Amino acid sequence: MSKLLIVGTVAFDQIETPFGKTDRILGGAATFIGLSASNFSIDAGIVSVVGGDFPLDYIKLLNDRNIDTTGVEIVPDGKTFFWSGKYHNDMNSRDTLITELNTLADFNPIVPEKYKDAPIVMLGNLHPSVQSAVLDQMTETPKLVVLDTMNFWMDVALEELKEVIKRIDVITINDEEARQLSGEYSLVNAAKKIHEMGPEYVVIKKGEHGALLVHDGKMFYAPALPLAEVYDPTGAGDTFAGGFSGYLAKTEDISFENMKNAVIYGSNLASFCVEKFGTERMLSLTKEEVTNRLHEFKILTQFEIELT
Amino acid sequence: MSKLLIVGTVAFDQIETPFGKTDRILGGAATFIGLSASNFSIDAGIVSVVGGDFPLDYIKLLNDRNIDTTGVEIVPDGKTFFWSGKYHNDMNSRDTLITELNTLADFNPIVPEKYKDAPIVMLGNLHPSVQSAVLDQMTETPKLVVLDTMNFWMDVALEELKEVIKRIDVITINDEEARQLSGEYSLVNAAKKIHEMGPEYVVIKKGEHGALLVHDGKMFYAPALPLAEVYDPTGAGDTFAGGFSGYLAKTEDISFENMKNAVIYGSNLASFCVEKFGTERMLSLTKEEVTNRLHEFKILTQFEIELT
């Protein structure tokens, strides 16, 4: 089975949206990436850290989906990373209420032997130095390294971020972050500038407006599936990254044509993620539902114009 | 040749964007619709009004593109509608600086005999009572009536707008306006509510984020072509409407499948409109450029996933 190495947070989230408020529930970038990637029959392993307060049930839940957690360090007397946020009525913006780094504050990632030759590496949103430290441990040069990040790291660790960006193949980033990182307003120009920083492929995530893949002057655009209700956008970007990298790990085909499909799979899986709070929808997701939604994406985007 | 009846403003615009500022130039909804529709070999006729200050050159420019202007009333001692606006740096919002209705204030539209049996009618953005008055004059029930409107009419003439909306088949409206008209935030729900007001088809224009066609639970999404530079968004929505209605007039096929193509043509033509100030880009546009850009739209949106 194809290996996918995932690094990112495994965390507690507490979320408030116009539809309600949760207790502390399972969250974290690596969690969403792993659950999304587990929809492909691959061997996915997570590198992360949690505290002694992290329930074994959650570890079991990941293992049950064939996600290897031997790389998830448990700090018995530490506490798990905690994030709490509140979404505004339009669901496009949110306030972070609480961020407790806890065990994440001095996390030193250790890649299990088994995953040191993983062909696809998915560096989830985390301190760029941690992302670099994971790449340092690879014994084989990965076929493809995908990195997700956010504006926070541009504010507090821009140099480290630029260093790791030099070493990767694909960056996934949202539109505002792409503008911040590049200093360009037009996403076409932003992608060009970011491309010059290292990554051959730039994926700009536009939330409810879809995702844009840019490579060598070529562009591919996947819309988000228009939904009647979005309950909770938390984890949608990570779920996109998990579907994207999981599909590429499954197929081991990193051509532009196949990467288009990876973007569609990422968008497909992210469209489920937002339908319920936290990981709930991803945990009940069936293969049939994913396939049906691929049909919906085809209907939504495909047209037949005879060109003369 | 298939007839397309267009109603809308023919106007002077003065535009300021981060890229520069124009003098009084040719503008108006019907102008942009007509220029866009003229890319299809159809018989398009405009119903509008201008003052004695309107240059004959502009009339000739429309006639040269096979746009019939016998329905454009000239009020010799009146002045032409004038709009002046300034776009913000993000190009997504603008301030209206001046609106002088002039001859438009008491415009009583008269549809030329020749266009009273037009199968496709494009009601461009104007007072909804004027839009209704045009429909009243049709001697044959049109195959398809398309209406474009804006938030301004929802604020000042909501009842008249609701009346004319009952009589049309397709409404084109932007996302914020769809939310205002329906009271629904989700565009899926907004389209459903607007559908209940009359139109079988709802086209939601999302500017740089593309356009969504909704009909009877089916959705089709056309992205806007990502552009390195947007010089002036003025008229992009009208150009979309002109491409949409022009293609439908040309093909006289109002099936959902063909309407998808009309949305792509509308997006295609709108993507040119914004590349220069006012109508400038539309006036230099060639058939070859339109065809090449259709190829770009295919590359941008089409993918091959084998569904099992």
Closest CA to A259 of A199, A305, A302: A199
Residue of B223, B228, B298 lying closest to A189 (CB–CB): B228
pLDDT digits (tens, 9 = 90+) for B201-244: 999 999 999 999 999 989 999 999 999 989 999 999 999 999 99
Chain A residues with CB-CB distance to B188 below 8 A = 226-228
- Beta-carbon contacts of B93 under 8 Å, excluding residues fewer than 6 positions away, are B87
Distance of CA A171 to the CA centre of its chain: 10
Chain B residues with CB-CB distance to A212 below 8 A = 226
- Looking at every residue in chain B, the average pLDDT score rounds to 96
pLDDT digits (tens, 9 = 90+) for B119-130: 999 999 999 999
| Binary contact (A261, B305; C-beta < 8 A) | yes
| Binary contact (B186, A90; C-beta < 8 A) | no
Any B CB within 8 A of A304 CB: yes
Query: With bands split at pLDDT 50, 70 and 90, how would you rate the model's confidence at A278?
Result: very high
Asked if A167 contacts A198 with a C-beta cutoff of 8 angstroms, the reply is yes
Q: How far is B216 from chain A (nearest CA, A)?
A: 14
Q: What is the pLDDT of residue A92?
A: 77
pLDDT digits (tens, 9 = 90+) for B177-189: 999 999 999 999 9
Identify the closest residue of chain A to B305 by CA–CA distance. A261
| Binary contact (A303, B264; C-beta < 8 A) | yes
Map out the domains of chain B as residue ranges.
3-301
Say which CATH architecture domain A3-301 belongs to.
Answer: 3-Layer(aba) Sandwich (3.40)
Q: How far is B199 from chain A (nearest CA, A)?
A: 19
pLDDT digits (tens, 9 = 90+) for A31-65: 999 999 999 999 999 999 999 999 999 999 999 99
Helix (H) or strand (E) holding B144: strand B144-148
Identify the closest residue of chain A to B263 by CA–CA distance. A303
pLDDT digits (tens, 9 = 90+) for B278-296: 999 999 999 999 999 999 9
- Kindly report the backbone phi and psi dihedral angles of residue B235, in degrees, each rounded to the nearest multiple of 5, phi listed first: 85, 0
Long-range contact set of residues A174-179: C-beta below 8 Å, sequence gap at least 24:
A174/A150, A174/A204, A174/A205, A174/A206, A174/A207, A174/A237, A175/A204, A175/A205, A175/A206, A175/A207, A176/A151, A177/A149, A177/A150, A177/A151, A178/A202, A178/A204
Beta bridge partners of A3: A43
ipTM above 0.85, yes or no: yes
Distance in angstroms (rounded) separating the CA atoms of residues A34 and A282? 10
| Binary contact (B260, A303; C-beta < 8 A) | yes
Distance in angstroms (rounded) separating the CA atoms of residues A92 and A55? 31
Distance in angstroms (rounded) separating the CA atoms of residues A195 and A72? 32
Mean pLDDT of A283-288: 97
| Binary contact (B303, A185; C-beta < 8 A) | no
In degrees, to the nearest 5, what angle opens at C-alpha B175 toward C-alphas B171 and B180?
85
Provide the token pair at A37: 């990637």
Count of other CB atoms within 10 angstroms of residue A88? 11
Provide the token pair at B253: 């096929």
Distance in angstroms (rounded) separating the CA atoms of residues B300 and B89? 26
| Binary contact (B186, A227; C-beta < 8 A) | yes
Q: How far is A43 from chain B (nearest CA, A)?
A: 22
Asked if A232 contacts A17 with a C-beta cutoff of 8 angstroms, the reply is yes
Provide the token pair at B296: 């770009």
pLDDT digits (tens, 9 = 90+) for A159-193: 999 999 999 999 999 999 999 999 999 999 999 99
Q: What is the pLDDT of residue B307?
A: 66
Q: How far is B37 from chain A (nearest CA, A)?
A: 17
Q: What is the pLDDT of residue B227?
A: 93
Residues of chain A numbered 230-249 and touching chain B (CB < 8 Å): 230
Distance in angstroms (rounded) separating the CA atoms of residues B222 and B177? 19
Identify the closest residue of chain A to B191 by CA–CA distance. A228
Q: What is the pLDDT of residue A89?
A: 81
Q: What is the pLDDT of residue A44?
A: 98
